[in-house]
Amino acid sequence: MVRPNDTKSWVYRYLSPTHSKNKRISLGVYPNVSFSRACKIWYEYEDLLSRNIDPKPYRE
């Protein structure tokens, strides 16, 4: 995601298993979080979703 002030961040969009709504969660700000690290975080969130766990409340 690129904001109007040119801040770039990695964002993961997913369908919440508990509310059946589209949600999004930040994976980090680019370049502090590399593409490979963002992919690892994405994979962890995909694993949580496969077990019907919402990643956003899980992270908090």
Concatenating the DSSP letter of every residue in 3-37 gives -TT--EEEEEEEE-TTT--EEEEEEEEETTS-HHH
Q: What is the pLDDT along the chain (60 residues), one digit of tens a residue?
A: 999 999 999 999 999 888 888 999 999 999 999 999 999 999 999 999 999 999 988 888
The amino acid sitting at 14 is: Y
Is 0.95 topped by the overall pTM? no
Q: Which residue has the tokens 């995909």?
A: 46
Q: Is 55 exposed, middle or buried (0-12, 13-18, 19+ CB in 10 A)?
A: buried
Distance CA 9, CA 18 (A): 26
